[in-house]
Structure 1
Amino acid sequence: PIAKCLQGTHEQLIATIIGWIDGDMDHLICWLNGPAGSGKSAVSQTVAELCDASGRLAASFFFLQGAGDRSRIAGLIPTLAYQLSISIPTTKPFIQLVLHTDPLIVRQALRHQFKKLVIKPILTVTDTNTTMTPMIIFVDALDECDNRELMAEFIEIIADAYRENCRLPLRVFFTSRVEEHLRKKLEAPAACSVIYLLALQDFDAANDIRKFFRHRFATIYEENHRLMRDVPWPWPSHTDLAALVRKASGSFIFAFTLINFVDDGADLP
C-alpha cells in the first residue's frame, strides 16, 4: 500500500488541493509535479482517502515502475471503469453493456476505451442527475508508466475530453515528476485551459521533514529503552535535528532512508 502523509505535514498543499476540488470550476484537471522523493504519492494517497471518506472518490490508479500490471497502461482505463461502476453505481449497467457488446474494447485504442467506458456512462447518468456532486479520479506517478508514448496520448485524451465536455462531474488529479514527454502534453496551450498546475517545490517542505524526523526519532527512542538509556533527550539535539533537515533539502527519500538506517541499527544485537 502507498504510505500517506504523516498527520500535520503537507497541510498547506492538501488545503490547496481541497480548494481546487471544491471550488475551481474552470480547471477540472490538476497536475501535482515534483522531483523524485518529494512526497507526491503520499499526498495523492492522503487526498484520495479524504475524498473516499466524503464519498467523492471515483477511482484511483497508482503506477509503480517494475510492478507488473501497475507499470503498464493497458489496465488503466478498465481499472478506472470498474471502480467507477462501484463508486457511482448508476454507471454500472452502461459500462456492463459496453463490455458485453464489445468484449475486446479493452484491447482497443485508449481514446475509444475512455470515451466508451468512462465519458459516455458518466454523461448518461448526468443527464438524469444534474445535481451530481463532482467526483475525483486519481492517477498517480504518470512517469512510472512503462510506455511514454501511450501515457502522453492518455494525457491528451483526458485534456480533450474536458475541453469538449465541460459539464463532466468528474475531476482528475495527476502526479508525476516533470519529465519532458509529460510536460509537453500537460503544459500544451490546448491543455492549459483545463489544467491546474501545482509544483510541490513551491511549498516549503522543511517543516514537514522536521515533523517527520521528530515523530520517527521519538518512536525509535521509545522502542529501544535499554539501548537509549544513556542518551539524553531530546534525541537528536535541536542543533543536530536542524542539520539533518538542511541535509534533506526537501527530499523525503533522504529522510526515509536515514530513518530506516538508524532504525535498522537500533535492532542490531
Structure 2
Amino acid sequence: MLKTRVITALVLLAVFLPVTLFAPIGAFGALIGFVVVFAAWEWARLLKANGVVPVLYAVAAGLAVVASTRLSDTRPLFEAAAIFWVIAGPYALVRKPTLADGAWRPFLFVAGLVLFAACWHALVAARAAGVAFVLSLLLVVWLADIGAYFSGKAFGRHKLAPAISPGKTWEGAAGGWLAVMVVSAAAATLHAFEPTLYSALFAHAGPVRALLALTVLVAFSVVGDLFESLLKRQAGVKDSSGLLPGHGGVLDRIDALLPVLPLAMLIVGRSAG
C-alpha cells in the first residue's frame, strides 16, 4: 500500500509540479480543469447518481467552468461558494441530514457546479498572482493536514467529529493550525518568496488580522474535509473513487481546498476576471 501511495504521489508531482512552475497560465488552467471534471464525477457518485449521470454531471461541470470564464468579475462566484461553506457546510455537519436524498440532493448537484467553478477560478487567479502565491495558498491546506496528522497521532485524545470522521481530534486540528501560524508568520517576517498569500495578508491587514484570517482558512479546511467525509459515510464508501491508487479519489485530495480557495481569494481581494 505504501509503495502504491508513493508511486502515485511521484506521478502526480511529475505532472503538476512542472505545469505549476513553468507552464503558461492556459496550460495550468487546462490541467486544473481536468481535476475539476473528475472531482465533479466523484461528487455525483457520492450523491448516488447511477449509470451515465455522473459522466453527464462531469461534462456539465466542465461546461460551467468554460461558461464562467466569460464573467468580467469572478468575485460573485467566490461569494456564492463562500456562502455555501459558511452556512450549508457547518449546518450539514451539525444536523447531518441525508445529503443524497430529499431537497439536499438537487441542491448539492446545483451547488457543486458553483463550487467547482469557483475552485478553478481561485486557483487560476492565484497562479496569475505568481507561482509562490499559489503554492503558499496550497501550503495552508497541506500544513494544516500534515500538522493535524502528526499532532493527532502524538496527542490526540478528544474526538473532533466522531460520528463523521472518528480519526480526527481537537488536538490534531490545533496542531495543524499551529503549523500554519508558525510557517506563515515566519514567511511574512522573512519576506520569503514574495508575493505570497502571507505577505498579502500581512501587508494589507496587519499581523493580528492576518493570523485571524489564516485561522479562518484553517477552520474551513476542516469543514471541507468533514463535509466530504459525511458524503462518503452516507454513501457507504471509504474513498470518493479509486482514481488515485493508494490515495483514493480526486475529491479526497481537494476536499479541504474547496472552501479555502474562494475564501482566500475573497479575503485578499483577488479575482480571475
Q: TM-score, normalised by structure 2?
A: 0.29
Q: TM-score, normalised by structure 1?
A: 0.29
Q: Whose helix fraction is larger, Structure 1's or Structure 2's?
A: 2
> Radius of gyration: which is bigger?
1
Q: Whose strand fraction is larger, Structure 1's or Structure 2's?
A: 1
